[in-house]
Amino acid sequence: MFISRECDYAVRIIRQLVCGEKKKAEVICDAEKISVQFAYKILKKLEENGIVQVFRGVKGGYALAKPGSDITLYDIYMAMENHLALIACLEDGFVCPMNLCDSPCSVHQEFCRIQKVMESLMKEKTLDVLFA
């Protein structure tokens, strides 16, 4: 698993919105040092995944679509990446040449355990706690 720049920026964008205020993309970008073009791409994904709400028009902007108490880092990561796999062998459909008798190797099993712990940690705290 690699936390991409896009995912990092998504968390930073959300950090600007967790206060509950509606903000313009330019204001968010200035505060977080993100290019406006890249931010629009990220904001679109966040909107499509129900994390951010868009307000159009002169007084428009962006706001969280639900309370920070209902959003975790896992939610943001999944909105950006659509899947979570620590390494390639954990991805759906991966065929490992090291599988013996159709059972995963012990390394695969350990990576599964680590990934479950990581997912649990990403789901553990909501944004209102993280950005308090």
| Every domain of the chain and the residues it spans | 5-130
Whether the predicted pLDDT of 100 surpasses 70: no
Name the β-bridge partners of 72: 126
Q: Could you tell me which residue, 93 or 57, shows the higher pLDDT?
A: 57
Cβ burial, residue 120 (10 Å; 0-12/13-18/19+): exposed
Mean pLDDT of the chain: 89
Can you read off the two tokens belonging to residue 62? 């962006």
What's the CATH fold of domain 5-130?
Arc Repressor Mutant, subunit A (1.10.10)
Question: pTM of the entire structure?
Answer: 0.84
Cα–Cα distance for residue pair 68/128, rounded to 1 Å: 5
Q: What would the pLDDT profile of 31-46 be if each residue is shown by its tens digit?
A: 999 999 999 999 999 9
Q: 11 pLDDT band (50/70/90 cuts)?
A: very high
Question: What's the whole-number mean pLDDT along residues 4-9?
Answer: 93
Cα 113 to chain center, whole Å?
Answer: 21
Nearest alpha carbon to residue 18 among 45, 50, 41, 51: 51
Which residues lie below 8 Å from residue 6, measured CB to CB, with a gap of 6+? 38, 41, 42, 80
Residue 102: which pLDDT band, with cuts at 50, 70 and 90? Answer: low
